[in-house]
Amino acid sequence: MVTIEWTEISTEDLKEIFDFIADDSIRYAAITSTKIYQKVQLVAQNPYVGRMVPELNEKSIREVIEGNYRVVYRIKNPNLVNILRVLHSARLLSIKELGS
């Protein structure tokens, strides 16, 4: 199992997602956030579970999809993964948006 570190921007992304959904349903916002965290736990068990981000084509930057959201992460080394962003899946991603 690798260590997961959330970047400041990724935690802000998750908070914004929660707040947006909570405007309509706090219950659904909590369910969505929990599912995203559970998906990250899969990454902790196997960092290569996600696919390479198509827009970037870098082996160390990968993503997993949960519902309508992309969890973008970087494999820093065999023991550490950084969660870089949590974005709506309709958005294209640029390297500048990763903040790293």
State which fold the 3-92 domain adopts.
Answer: YaeB-like fold (3.30.2310)
- Taking only the tens of pLDDT, the chain with its 100 residues reads 899 999 999 999 999 999 999 999 999 999 999 999 999 999 999 999 999 998 888 899 999 999 999 999 999 999 999 999 999 887 776 666 676 5
Nearest to 51 by CA among 11, 5, 89, 2: 89
Contact 84, 71 (CB under 8 A): no
Measured at the alpha carbon of residue 91, what is the angle toward residues 8 and 99, in degrees to the nearest 5? 30
Measured at the alpha carbon of residue 84, what is the angle toward residues 26 and 12, in degrees to the nearest 5? 35
Question: Residue 85 has what pLDDT?
Answer: 95
Domain boundaries, the chain: 3-92
Query: What's the predicted TM-score (pTM) here?
Result: 0.90
d(CA 16, CA 61): 22
Question: Residue 56 has what pLDDT?
Answer: 86
Question: Residue 55 has what pLDDT?
Answer: 85
